[in-house]
Amino acid sequence: MGRTSARRLFSRLSEDLATVAAEYSGFVACPLCLRLFPGDAIDLEDPELTEEHIIPGELGGTITTLTCKRCNNTHGSKIDAHLIQMLRSRDSFAGLSNRPFRGRIEIGGLTVPTDIDWKASVGEMTTFSLRQFKPSVHEAIQNQMRDGSVKTINVSISFDYIPGRTNIALLRIAYLAMFREIGYGYILSPAASVIREVIGSFEKCPIEVGQFVGRIGIESASISEPLHFLKIKGGIAIMVIMTLVTETKRYYAAFMPSPDLPSEAVITTLCDAAKSMTRAFPAGEQSA
């Protein structure tokens, strides 16, 4: 993404911030940490303010906004990466991907790393490819196989993602989508500050988040944009529907609060809003 595009975003966002807080004219605040940046933060050799995709580019995202380099980098590796890996894992289980799972095989008390090419879902043979490991371990396994002492072989698969962080990643997409749609008037509200705090504390995802974030079952023809907004109960909450693309399209949603909600009512209201949409999340899909 070029800096020309980032400058255009800065101009629009700084104008919007000035309408909410005139004392910050000429600045942009990172929507995730609220640190202020002047225009030249984009033009540094190592920019402090960066353009980033609201939906990660690895998931088909093209719509961008500005966030600070620190939030962009930290959230990319600590939050978004978990959502990307979760969707890739689902592709692999569905037989849609040639990406193998990382796993381990335990033989006679000895464990070796392996790649697992899962094909059971499409009626083909699942294959295991051992990765490089110590020759002495290989020899010990061979000896056990020869003397018949191996009774069981255990296989474990590593999915390489933390479910709670996939929920936070979806919530983060919805938060940035609301920022792009409404601006600083939204994210500076007490209601939005609750969501921002949850995102910032991603290492301790509240269990309630899984009640208002998750995959949805809808007809693809009904969604023409990568981000879609649906008001719930007269606008007390907003359902942000996002199209995520890997080997196939999937639709996820996160409920966001009205800016008029008091902060203490946000989580309860979002849980209730999700429950009111009885067809929003198929059974068992509330959590990503």
Per the domain annotation, does 164 fall within a domain?
no
Per the domain annotation, does 118 fall within a domain?
yes
What's the rounded Cα separation, in Å, for the pair 110 and 227?
A: 48
What's the rounded Cα separation, in Å, for the pair 91 and 246?
A: 8
Q: Give me the pLDDT at residue 285, please.
A: 47
DSSP 230: E
pLDDT tens string 251-263 = 999 999 999 999 9
Phi/psi for 162 (5° steps) reads -105, 120
Per the domain annotation, does 79 fall within a domain?
no
Q: Give me the pLDDT at residue 37, please.
A: 97
Per the domain annotation, does 258 fall within a domain?
no
Using DSSP, state whether 162 is helix, strand or coil.
coil
Return the CA Rg of the chain.
23
Q: Give me the pLDDT at residue 281, please.
A: 55
Per the domain annotation, does 116 fall within a domain?
yes
Per the domain annotation, does 261 fall within a domain?
no
The type of residue at 97 is S
Count how many domains the chain has: 1
Phi/psi for 240 (5° steps) reads -95, 115
**Residue-range definition of the domain harbouring residue 106:** 101-158
**Mean pLDDT, all residues of the chain:** 90
What's the rounded Cα separation, in Å, for the pair 29 and 53?
A: 17
Per the domain annotation, does 181 fall within a domain?
no
Per the domain annotation, does 251 fall within a domain?
no
Q: What is the largest CA-CA distance in the chain?
A: 80
- Which residue stretches of the chain have pLDDT < 50? 283-288
